[in-house]
Amino acid sequence: MHALLMMLMLDAAAQSAVPTPKWGQPVKNERQGGPLGLGVALGAPSGLAAKVWLGDWMATQFSVGGDLGWLGDLSVTGDYLFHFRPLNTNNSEYSVPLYAGAGVNLSTNTIVLQDSIWFGFRAVFGATVLVRALPVDLYIETAPTIYVLDEPTWAVDGQMGVRYYF
C-alpha cells in the first residue's frame, strides 16, 4: 500500500514541470532545514536512514537496519550521490531530483546464517521529493550490489523512506 502511494506521488510529480537549474547554479531554496537529514526507511535495509548534503548537487547517505524477512539480519550502507534535476514540475512547492552514486554494503546475519559477513560494492539510483516549505524529503531507490567478501554473490536492494532535516 505504501509503495503504491509512493509510486503515485512520484508519478504525479513527474507529470508537472519545475525550472531546471543549470549546472553550478545554487538550488538551496529546494527545502528547509540544514544539511543533515535523519529518518526511517523500508526495504533493504529497513531501519534508520541519514543523508548529509555536501552542496547543491552532492550528498552522502547512510542506513542501518535489517532486510525484511531475514531474522537476525543486520546491514550498514554508505553511499556518495550526485543529484540531477531533469524533471520540471511546474510547481514551486516541490522539486524531484534524481540521483545516482556508488557505495558499500556490510551485512551479517546472527541467527539464520551465523558467522556470515558480506561486504560488497553497490550502485545507487533513485529519486527524491523535496518539499520547499518543509524540512523533509521522501525518496525511493534501488541499489544493485556485488558482494566480494564471504562468498561472491550479488543482490538488488531497494529502499523507500522519509528524512527530516536539521
Helix (H, G, I), strand (E, B) or coil at 122: strand
Average pLDDT taken over every residue of the chain: 84
Say what the pLDDT of residue 16 is: 43
Confidence at 22, pLDDT banded by 50, 70, 90: low
Nearest-CA neighbor of 22 among 75, 115, 86? 86
Confidence at 127, pLDDT banded by 50, 70, 90: very high
- Only one residue has cell 543523508, namely 51
User: d(Cα 68, Cα 157) in Å, to the nearest integer?
Assistant: 11
Confidence at 91, pLDDT banded by 50, 70, 90: confident
Say what the pLDDT of residue 14 is: 47
Asked if 33 and 143 touch (Cβ cutoff 8 Å), the reply is: no
Confidence at 3, pLDDT banded by 50, 70, 90: low
Say what the pLDDT of residue 140 is: 98
Q: Which long-range contacts (CB under 8 A, 24 or more apart) does 138-147 make?
A: 138/6, 138/9, 138/162, 139/163, 140/6, 140/7, 140/10, 141/99, 143/77, 143/79, 143/103, 143/105, 145/105, 145/120, 145/121, 146/120, 146/121, 146/122, 147/105, 147/107, 147/118, 147/119, 147/120
Q: pLDDT tens-digit profile of 57-86?
A: 999 999 999 987 777 889 999 999 999 988
Could you say which of 2.40.160.20, 3.10.290.10, 3.40.50.1980, 2.40.10.10 is the CATH number of the domain covering 2-14+31-165? Answer: 2.40.160.20
